[in-house]
C-alpha cells in the first residue's frame, strides 16, 4: 500500500520506517522543505533520529498535496495543536473512504474535543478513523527494540488494517474498540510525566514518583469512565503501559521538561532548544475543559497547570496535593 505519513518529527520518522520495513511505500510530509530534501538525498532525517538510515521506500516532500495525492491510508503525526487545521487541509486532498490513523497525543484547545472527534468533524467518516497509542518511544521503535502498541477504532475493519500495516516481530500491535479511552489516556499520561519529572527535579524520590504515577492512573480512570470509555483501557498498553514508559524513561520529553522546569527552565526555552513538542504542557490546560464538563477532580493535572501557566510554587503544589481531604483510595472512580 501507499501510505502518507504526515509529520516528520521523531515519531513520524520512526513510524514511516516501520511501515516501509513492512513493505509499504511511504510518502513522508515534512513541514520544512530542507528536512524533506535531506531525507530524499541522504535517507536520513537530519533533525530527528539522525543516526537511523531510512528505507529507500520512504519518499519525502514538504508539499502536502503531493504527499496525500496517491495515499491509500494516512498516518497523522503532527503535534496535536494543529490537528484541526491539518485535518481540514487533508479533507480536500484525500478521498472520503481513505483510512486515517491518529498518532499524536492530546485534546483540542478550547473545545476539549478528542482527536477522532475533530477528524470526524473535518473529514467525515467515523469508521475510517483510528488512533494508535502505547509505550512507544520513537528512539527505541526506530531501531527495532521490542515494543507493543494499541490501535483503537469504532470499526474493527479499520483497526485490523492498521494492525496489519504496522505489526512486526519487534512491534506487536493489539486492537481495541475503545478509541475514547485510548485518546484520553494518551493525553493525560503526558501531564503525569511532567509531574514526575518535576518531582525528581526538586529532589523527591522514587516513592513520590510511584505515588504520582498511581494517583495519575486514578485521574485517567476518572476521565475515561466519565467520557464513557472503558476503564479497562487504563490498565492496558495505552494506559498503564504508556504512563510507566513516559514517567520512567529518560527519552520522554515530558519528563525531561518537568525536571528542567523544576530547575528554572521555561517552556519556550525548552521547546526552542530541543525543537521537540511537550504535549503535556498543553494537555494540562486543555484537559481542564473536560474536568469542568464531567465535574471530576484531576488534582495532579491542576497543579501541573498551576506550576507551568499560573505561577504556582513547588511547595504550594506539594501542599495542594498532600493536604487534600482524607478519603478512601478509590473515591470518585
Ligand X SMILES: NC(=O)C1=CN([C@@H]2O[C@H](COP(=O)(O)OP(=O)(O)OC[C@H]3O[C@@H](n4cnc5c(N)ncnc54)[C@H](O)[C@@H]3O)[C@@H](O)[C@H]2O)C=CC1
Report 119-178 residues binding ligand 13P (CB under 6 A).
135-137
Cβ-based nearer residue to ligand 13P, 137 or 285: 137
Backbone angles phi, psi at 137, to 5 degrees: -75, 130
Residue 271 among known ligand-binding residues: no
Cβ-based nearer residue to ligand 13P, 244 or 289: 244
Q: How far is residue 85 from each of residues 21, 54, 160, measured CA to CA in Å?
A: 30, 28, 27
Residue 92 among known ligand-binding residues: no
What is d(CA 199, CA 195) in angstroms, rounded to the nearest whole number?
6
Cβ-based nearer residue to ligand 13P, 52 or 98: 52
Of 60, 67, 55, nearest to 18 (Cα)? 55
4, 5, 9, 18: which one contacts ligand X (CB under 6 A)? 9
- Choose one: 61-69, 158-166, 200-208, 241-249; the region binding ligand 13P (CB under 6 A): 241-249
Angle made by CA atoms 296, 301, 307, in degrees to the nearest 5: 140
Binding flag, residue 193, ligand 13P (CB under 6 A) = yes
Beta strands (DSSP E) in the chain are 2-6, 25-29, 58-61, 73-76, 100-102, 129-133, 147-152, 171-176
Residue 252 among known ligand-binding residues: yes
| Cell reading at 63 | 508539499
Tell me how far apart the terminal alpha carbons of the chain are, to the nearest angstrom.
Answer: 43
- Choose one: 55-63, 87-95, 247-255, 290-298; the region binding ligand 13P (CB under 6 A): 247-255
- Choose one: 56-64, 77-85, 110-118, 299-307; the region binding ligand X (CB under 6 A): 77-85
Determine the angle formed by the axes of helices 83-91 and 115-123, rounding to 10 degrees. Answer: 30
3, 12, 192, 286: which one contacts ligand X (CB under 6 A)? 12
- x/- letters, 272..291, toward ligand 13P (CB under 6 A): -------x------------
Catalytic site includes residue 189:
yes
- 21, 81, 189, 327: the active-site residue: 189
Report 277-296 residues binding ligand X (CB under 6 A).
277, 279
What is d(CA 224, CA 133) in angstroms, rounded to the nearest whole number?
15
What is d(CA 100, CA 129) in angstroms, rounded to the nearest whole number?
5
What is d(CA 228, CA 294) in angstroms, rounded to the nearest whole number?
11
Cβ-based nearer residue to ligand 13P, 135 or 236: 135
Secondary structure (3-state) at 187: helix
Binding flag, residue 246, ligand 13P (CB under 6 A) = yes
Half-sphere exposure of residue 113: CA atoms within 13 angstroms, side-chain side: 16
Cβ-based nearer residue to ligand X, 19 or 211: 19
Residues forming the site for ligand X (CB under 6 A): 7-12, 31, 48, 77-80, 82, 103-106, 136-138, 276-277, 279
| Binding site, annotated residues for NADPH | 10-11, 31-32, 48, 105, 138, 253, 277, 279
Residues forming the site for ligand 13P (CB under 6 A): 105, 135-137, 190, 193, 242, 245-246, 251-254, 279
Residues with catalytic function: 189
Amino acid at each position: 500500500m501507499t501510505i502518507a505519513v504526515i509529520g516528520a518529527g521523531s515519531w513520524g520518522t520512526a513510524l514511516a520506517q516501520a511501515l516501509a520495513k513492512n513493505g509499504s511505500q511511504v510518502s513522508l510530509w515534512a513541514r520544512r522543505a530542507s528536512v524533506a530534501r535531506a531525507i530524499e538525498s541522504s535517507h536520513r532525517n537530519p533533525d530527528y533520529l539522525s543516526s537511523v538510515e531510512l528505507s529507500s521506500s520512504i519518499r519525502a516532500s514538504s508539499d502536502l498535496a503531493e504527499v496525500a495525492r496517491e495515499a491509500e491510508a494516512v498516518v497523522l503525526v503532527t503535534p496535536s495543536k494543529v490537528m484541526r487545521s491539518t485535518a481540514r487541509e487533508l479533507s480536500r486532498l484525500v478521498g472520503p473512504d481513505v483510512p486515517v490513523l491518529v498518532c499524536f497525543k492530546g485534546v483540542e484547545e478550547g473545545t476539549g474535543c478528542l482527536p477522532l472527534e475533530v477528524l470526524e468533524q473535518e473529514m467525515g467518516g467515523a469508521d475510517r478513523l483510528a488512533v494508535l497509542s502505547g509505550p512507544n518511544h520513537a528512539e527505541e521503535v526506530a531501531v527495532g527494540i521490542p515494543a507493543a502498541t494499541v490501535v483503537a477504532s469504532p470499526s474493527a475493519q479499520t483497526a485490523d488494517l492498521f494492525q496489519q500495516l504496522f505489526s512486526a516481530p519487534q512491534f506487536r500491535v493489539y486492537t481495541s474498540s475503545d478509541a475514547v479511552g485510548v485518546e484520553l489516556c494518551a493525553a493525560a499520561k503526558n501531564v503525569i510525566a511532567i509531574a514526575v519529572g518535576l518531582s525528581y527535579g526538586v529532589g523527591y524520590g522514587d516513592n513520590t514518583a510511584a505515588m504520582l504515577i498511581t494517583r495519575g492512573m486514578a485521574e485517567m480512570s476518572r476521565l475515561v469512565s466519565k467520557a464513557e470509555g472503558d476503564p479497562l483501557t487504563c490498565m492496558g498498553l495505552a494506559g498503564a503501559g504508556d504512563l510507566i514508559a513516559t514517567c520512567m524513561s529518560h527519552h520522554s520529553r515530558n519528563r525531561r521538561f518537568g525536571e528542567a522546569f523544576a530547575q528554572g527552565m521555561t517552556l519556550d526555552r525548552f521547546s526552542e532548544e530541543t525543537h521537540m513538542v511537550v504535549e503535556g504542557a498543553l494537555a494540562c490546560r486543555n484537559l481542564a475543559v473536560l474536568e469542568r464538563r464531567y465535574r471530576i477532580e484531576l488534582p495532579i493535572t491542576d497543579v501541573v497547570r498551576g506550576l507551568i501557566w499560573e505561577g504556582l510554587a513547588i511547595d504550594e503544589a506539594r501542599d495542594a496535593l498532600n493536604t487534600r481531604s482524607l478519603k478512601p483510595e478509590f473515591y470518585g472512580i
